[in-house]
Structure 1
């Protein structure tokens, strides 16, 4: 397997990437831009009507909150020949600020469509991305021959709803934090209620049982 050089990318990619821009070839890779759609996993207090894909205008930005997952789609349509394999990643300047790719790292031979990246904001701050920004990188490599089982399924042209159902509250770090906070409050409330009940029991014992015990003790001692 040999990776395509910048020269090879310049000669091959015009027919494999749409739209193609020669200026996006950098160090034997091609830089891909963020497309018009993004889906961010919902925060615990997000209304149901707002739990949907976000459509971005050109150069519009959106923030991925800390601890949240998101699906990002490329603006380019990608094709991979049957005799090649592609590798994908998020550019280092984004990874170094906490944005992690948690999806696959390669594109199958025969694939045709936009690419979807599942990402996670592992940083402490909101992570802003903009439509049209060069966020991803793709590398092409030759196979020794045409693959006999290339991908035949139609590629993505938008973020599908079945993917949107995956990274919801169950996988949201803020949601887990909220659950822990709620659990702590329940324990505190339970402890407070237990303390009140204990105080009431002691008060009842002091008020009603103590005189009985004292009376029994006096009668018992008076019998001697």
Structure 2
């Protein structure tokens, strides 16, 4: 498979300074308004530098009728640390093989691919769903203009290819979790079209140095990041603070409810104890009254029996014995009844058991 993608560049003229010049004879016949097919695109990339500079693209990035550009590691503006407002510019020999964006963070990134569009080629830029699903918002233009990556060569009255023209994207983490990006990650999808040859005018590009100032990188470090996303990040932080405040208030309310419940339970217990005391006291009074009545009746019966014995002294002995036995039985029954009532009263006047507890004794 490696030989299938061997890059065969059409002959290009070079200046004395080593800049590549594009000759009219090197341009293939084209079909204006047509999307380049996968084979046409591969052939174009293998045989010319009319789209990318040689060595900056990979055949593995060809996908359907387009190409997925990759994240570079030497032209970046990223936060010093995830979640912070200060930014670091990575340029030239510096590299950053991976970096992490916290929720609300933004970064300026560039492609590995170096562009050298001819004036009869354009491309549309599309998002990748996988990045959006993670919460990564990629901000970019809609097209790559004809002539992007070329500049005038006044000495030779023609156009030469720029050595390091990238595409730049602003990415923002609008999701709830950290997102880590690595060199070589696919960041956007390009589809290429043949068009009628456009007027050969330079394509304005503000470049990396200007874009980096939007983030306050380097000498503009005191300015922080892009204001919109910084405000979104601050708003998210404020929402988190308010959420924590509400959570604390809910916890305080829960503790207050528990305290009130415990206090109410104690009051109910105290009220039940007071009711039990009143009930026990009234029971004791009733039992004591019954005891007094029973004792009084016993005394009356004994007096009556004494009088009866005096009156019946002239009766037979067996009759007197019978009356004595009956009197004794009555007395025993009365005393037994009084004792049983007293025992019941003693149990009744014991302190009541608080509600919700069990007497295991």
The equivalent residue for 2:76 is 38
8 A contact 1:71–1:116 mirrored in 2: yes
Residues 33 and 45 of structure 1: CA distance in aligned 2, closer, same or farther (over 3 Å): closer
Is the strand fraction higher in 1 or 2? 1
Is the helix fraction higher in 1 or 2? 2
Query: How much has 1:136 moved relative to structure 2?
Result: 2.3
Give the superposed CA RMSD: 3.2
Query: How much has 1:54 moved relative to structure 2?
Result: 4.2
What's the TM-score, normalizing by structure 1? 0.67
Residues 54 and 126 of structure 1: CA distance in aligned 2, closer, same or farther (over 3 Å): farther
Q: Secondary structure of 1:82's partner?
A: coil
The equivalent residue for 1:148 is 199
Unaligned segments of structure 1, at least 5 residues: 184-224
What's the TM-score, normalizing by structure 2? 0.43
Equivalent of residue 134 in structure 1, options 172, 176, 186: 186
Residue 118 of structure 1 pairs with residue 170 of structure 2: yes
What is the count of residue pairs matched by the alignment?
Answer: 180
Residues 167 and 81 of structure 1: CA distance in aligned 2, closer, same or farther (over 3 Å): farther
What are the superposed Cα offsets for residues 73-128 of structure 1, whole Å, 9 maximum, x if unpaired? 00110122211211123422112211122221211111011000112212111111
- In the TM superposition, 1:1-224 aligns within 5 A as 1-14=33-46, 15=49, 16-18=51-53, 19-36=56-73, 37-40=75-78, 46=84, 50-54=86-90, 57=95, 60-112=97-149, 113-143=165-195, 145-148=196-199, 150-153=201-204, 156=207, 160-165=211-216, 167-172=225-230, 173-178=232-237
Task: Tell me which of the two structures has the higher relative contact order, counting C-alpha pairs closer than 8 angstroms and 6 or more residues apart.
Answer: 1
8 A contact 2:172–2:229 mirrored in 1: no
Residues 151 and 95 of structure 1: CA distance in aligned 2, closer, same or farther (over 3 Å): farther
Unaligned segments of structure 2, at least 5 residues: 1-32, 150-164, 217-223, 243-361
Segments ≥4 residues shifted beyond 6 Å: 42-45, 180-183
Q: How far, CA to CA, are the matches of 1:126 and 1:75 in structure 2?
A: 23
What are the superposed Cα offsets for residues 128-158 of structure 1, whole Å, 9 maximum, x if unpaired? 1101222222111121x11126443467467
Q: How far, CA to CA, are the matches of 1:64 and 1:25 in structure 2?
A: 27
Q: Secondary structure of 1:164's partner?
A: coil
Residues 114 and 40 of structure 1: CA distance in aligned 2, closer, same or farther (over 3 Å): same
8 A contact 2:87–2:225 mirrored in 1: no
Q: How far, CA to CA, are the matches of 2:82 and 2:235 in structure 1?
A: 9
Residues 125 and 12 of structure 1: CA distance in aligned 2, closer, same or farther (over 3 Å): same
Pair member with larger Rg: 2
Q: How far, CA to CA, are the matches of 2:212 and 2:105 in structure 1?
A: 18
Residues 150 and 100 of structure 1: CA distance in aligned 2, closer, same or farther (over 3 Å): farther
Q: How far, CA to CA, are the matches of 1:158 and 1:90 in structure 2?
A: 25
8 A contact 2:120–2:146 mirrored in 1: yes
Residues 150 and 86 of structure 1: CA distance in aligned 2, closer, same or farther (over 3 Å): farther
Q: How far, CA to CA, are the matches of 2:135 and 2:117 in structure 1?
A: 29
Residues 126 and 54 of structure 1: CA distance in aligned 2, closer, same or farther (over 3 Å): farther
